[in-house]
Structure 1
Amino acid sequence: MTKRMTCTISGRTQGVMFRDFIQRSALALGIVGQVWNEKDGSVTVVAEGEETVLAELLARIKKGPPLARVEHVEVKYADAMGEFEGFHIAIRK
Protein backbone atom coordinates (compact mmCIF):
# COMPACT_ATOMS: atom_id res chain seq x y z
CA MET A 1 0.00 0.00 0.00
CA THR A 2 1.31 3.46 -0.90
CA LYS A 3 1.82 5.71 2.11
CA ARG A 4 3.21 9.15 2.91
CA MET A 5 6.00 9.39 5.47
CA THR A 6 6.96 12.75 6.93
CA CYS A 7 10.19 12.84 8.95
CA THR A 8 11.92 15.61 10.84
CA ILE A 9 15.55 14.76 11.54
CA SER A 10 17.58 16.61 14.16
CA GLY A 11 21.24 16.49 15.06
CA ARG A 12 24.14 17.38 12.79
CA THR A 13 22.11 17.24 9.57
CA GLN A 14 23.01 20.43 7.69
CA GLY A 15 26.28 21.00 5.86
CA VAL A 16 26.99 17.24 5.72
CA MET A 17 25.29 16.31 2.41
CA PHE A 18 22.25 14.93 4.27
CA ARG A 19 19.68 16.14 1.73
CA ASP A 20 21.74 14.73 -1.15
CA PHE A 21 22.08 11.43 0.71
CA ILE A 22 18.31 11.24 1.22
CA GLN A 23 17.59 12.16 -2.40
CA ARG A 24 19.96 9.50 -3.75
CA SER A 25 18.54 6.89 -1.36
CA ALA A 26 14.93 7.74 -2.27
CA LEU A 27 15.60 7.65 -6.00
CA ALA A 28 17.37 4.28 -5.69
CA LEU A 29 14.31 2.92 -3.85
CA GLY A 30 11.76 4.37 -6.29
CA ILE A 31 10.34 6.80 -3.73
CA VAL A 32 8.92 10.22 -4.67
CA GLY A 33 8.89 13.35 -2.52
CA GLN A 34 10.97 16.23 -1.24
CA VAL A 35 13.62 17.03 1.35
CA TRP A 36 14.56 20.45 2.72
CA ASN A 37 16.49 22.22 5.49
CA GLU A 38 14.60 23.92 8.29
CA LYS A 39 15.69 27.20 9.90
CA ASP A 40 16.18 25.42 13.26
CA GLY A 41 18.93 23.20 11.77
CA SER A 42 16.78 20.11 11.25
CA VAL A 43 15.90 18.45 7.94
CA THR A 44 12.37 17.54 6.83
CA VAL A 45 11.52 14.73 4.43
CA VAL A 46 8.15 14.06 2.81
CA ALA A 47 8.26 10.74 0.95
CA GLU A 48 5.64 8.59 -0.76
CA GLY A 49 5.99 4.94 -1.70
CA GLU A 50 5.22 1.40 -0.67
CA GLU A 51 5.46 0.76 3.07
CA THR A 52 8.37 -1.67 2.71
CA VAL A 53 10.53 0.80 0.77
CA LEU A 54 9.60 3.65 3.12
CA ALA A 55 10.85 1.45 5.98
CA GLU A 56 14.16 1.02 4.14
CA LEU A 57 14.43 4.78 3.57
CA LEU A 58 13.74 5.38 7.26
CA ALA A 59 16.53 2.96 8.21
CA ARG A 60 18.91 4.89 5.94
CA ILE A 61 17.75 8.23 7.37
CA LYS A 62 18.42 7.01 10.93
CA LYS A 63 21.96 6.04 9.93
CA GLY A 64 22.63 9.12 7.79
CA PRO A 65 25.67 9.90 5.65
CA PRO A 66 29.19 9.55 7.14
CA LEU A 67 29.58 13.14 8.43
CA ALA A 68 26.07 13.40 9.91
CA ARG A 69 25.00 12.68 13.48
CA VAL A 70 21.32 11.81 13.76
CA GLU A 71 20.03 12.52 17.26
CA HIS A 72 16.27 12.24 16.78
CA VAL A 73 13.82 11.32 14.02
CA GLU A 74 10.15 12.23 14.33
CA VAL A 75 8.03 10.17 11.92
CA LYS A 76 4.39 10.54 10.88
CA TYR A 77 2.47 8.40 8.39
CA ALA A 78 -0.59 9.21 6.30
CA ASP A 79 -2.21 8.11 3.06
CA ALA A 80 -0.25 9.10 -0.04
CA MET A 81 -1.54 12.19 -1.84
CA GLY A 82 0.16 11.53 -5.19
CA GLU A 83 1.44 15.08 -5.58
CA PHE A 84 5.10 14.31 -6.35
CA GLU A 85 6.99 13.33 -9.48
CA GLY A 86 10.54 12.27 -8.71
CA PHE A 87 12.40 13.18 -5.53
CA HIS A 88 13.72 16.71 -5.15
CA ILE A 89 15.75 18.87 -2.83
CA ALA A 90 13.53 21.86 -2.09
CA ILE A 91 14.40 25.31 -0.82
CA ARG A 92 11.99 26.54 1.84
CA LYS A 93 11.93 30.14 3.03
Structure 2
Amino acid sequence: MADVVVECVARDPVRVVRKTFSILSFDAEGRIDPGRFEKQQFALVESVVAPVFAVFDENGDKTVLDAITRFIAQGGQWVPSGALARAIEEAALGQRQYRRL
Protein backbone atom coordinates (compact mmCIF):
# COMPACT_ATOMS: atom_id res chain seq x y z
CA MET A 1 0.00 0.00 0.00
CA ALA A 2 1.26 3.48 -0.82
CA ASP A 3 0.00 6.28 1.41
CA VAL A 4 0.69 9.72 -0.05
CA VAL A 5 -0.14 13.07 1.56
CA VAL A 6 -0.45 15.83 -1.02
CA GLU A 7 -0.56 19.58 -0.41
CA CYS A 8 -3.24 21.31 -2.47
CA VAL A 9 -3.62 25.00 -3.29
CA ALA A 10 -7.03 26.04 -4.58
CA ARG A 11 -7.84 22.30 -4.85
CA ASP A 12 -4.87 21.67 -7.16
CA PRO A 13 -2.10 19.31 -6.02
CA VAL A 14 1.21 21.17 -5.70
CA ARG A 15 3.60 18.85 -3.84
CA VAL A 16 3.91 15.57 -2.02
CA VAL A 17 4.35 16.22 1.69
CA ARG A 18 4.79 12.64 2.93
CA LYS A 19 4.95 9.08 1.55
CA THR A 20 4.79 5.77 3.38
CA PHE A 21 4.73 2.29 1.93
CA SER A 22 3.17 -0.58 3.88
CA ILE A 23 2.77 -4.30 3.37
CA LEU A 24 -0.76 -5.57 3.92
CA SER A 25 -1.43 -9.11 5.09
CA PHE A 26 -4.45 -11.10 3.94
CA ASP A 27 -6.24 -14.04 5.51
CA ALA A 28 -7.08 -17.33 3.74
CA GLU A 29 -10.29 -15.81 2.37
CA GLY A 30 -8.51 -12.82 0.82
CA ARG A 31 -9.52 -10.25 3.44
CA ILE A 32 -7.07 -7.72 4.85
CA ASP A 33 -5.83 -8.62 8.33
CA PRO A 34 -6.46 -5.31 10.15
CA GLY A 35 -5.02 -6.62 13.42
CA ARG A 36 -1.60 -7.25 11.92
CA PHE A 37 -1.58 -3.89 10.12
CA GLU A 38 -2.54 -2.13 13.35
CA LYS A 39 0.19 -3.96 15.26
CA GLN A 40 2.78 -2.86 12.66
CA GLN A 41 1.57 0.74 12.80
CA PHE A 42 1.73 0.84 16.61
CA ALA A 43 5.23 -0.68 16.46
CA LEU A 44 6.29 2.00 13.98
CA VAL A 45 5.07 4.75 16.29
CA GLU A 46 6.73 3.08 19.27
CA SER A 47 10.06 2.85 17.42
CA VAL A 48 9.95 6.63 16.91
CA VAL A 49 8.91 7.41 20.49
CA ALA A 50 11.06 4.77 22.24
CA PRO A 51 14.29 6.83 22.44
CA VAL A 52 12.45 9.34 24.64
CA PHE A 53 11.68 6.60 27.18
CA ALA A 54 15.03 4.76 27.04
CA VAL A 55 16.29 2.98 30.17
CA PHE A 56 19.69 4.14 31.45
CA ASP A 57 21.90 2.94 34.30
CA GLU A 58 23.53 5.16 36.95
CA ASN A 59 26.39 6.05 34.53
CA GLY A 60 23.99 7.26 31.87
CA ASP A 61 24.57 4.23 29.65
CA LYS A 62 21.64 2.63 27.94
CA THR A 63 21.02 -0.74 29.59
CA VAL A 64 18.10 -2.18 27.68
CA LEU A 65 17.59 -2.37 23.95
CA ASP A 66 14.22 -3.80 22.98
CA ALA A 67 14.32 -4.31 19.23
CA ILE A 68 11.09 -6.33 18.93
CA THR A 69 9.01 -3.35 17.82
CA ARG A 70 11.64 -2.37 15.24
CA PHE A 71 11.38 -5.80 13.62
CA ILE A 72 7.59 -5.73 13.68
CA ALA A 73 7.56 -2.23 12.15
CA GLN A 74 10.09 -3.17 9.46
CA GLY A 75 8.02 -6.22 8.55
CA GLY A 76 5.19 -3.91 7.57
CA GLN A 77 7.20 -1.58 5.33
CA TRP A 78 8.68 -1.76 1.86
CA VAL A 79 10.76 0.52 -0.35
CA PRO A 80 9.64 0.95 -3.96
CA SER A 81 12.09 1.22 -6.83
CA GLY A 82 12.94 4.75 -7.93
CA ALA A 83 10.78 4.38 -11.04
CA LEU A 84 7.78 3.14 -9.08
CA ALA A 85 8.18 5.88 -6.43
CA ARG A 86 8.22 8.52 -9.20
CA ALA A 87 5.16 6.98 -10.86
CA ILE A 88 3.24 7.01 -7.55
CA GLU A 89 4.22 10.63 -6.89
CA GLU A 90 3.31 11.72 -10.43
CA ALA A 91 -0.07 9.97 -10.16
CA ALA A 92 -0.72 11.64 -6.79
CA LEU A 93 0.05 15.05 -8.33
CA GLY A 94 -2.12 14.41 -11.39
CA GLN A 95 0.90 14.39 -13.71
CA ARG A 96 0.45 10.80 -14.89
CA GLN A 97 -2.51 8.94 -16.31
CA TYR A 98 -3.29 5.57 -14.79
CA ARG A 99 -5.97 2.96 -15.14
CA ARG A 100 -8.64 3.29 -12.45
CA LEU A 101 -10.06 0.12 -10.97
TM-score calculated relative to the size of structure 2:
0.22
Where is the strand percentage greater, Structure 1 or Structure 2? 1
**Who wins on radius of gyration, i.e. which is larger?**
2
Where is the helix percentage greater, Structure 1 or Structure 2? 2
TM-score calculated relative to the size of structure 1:
0.23
- Larger RCO (CA under 8 A, 6+ residues apart): 1
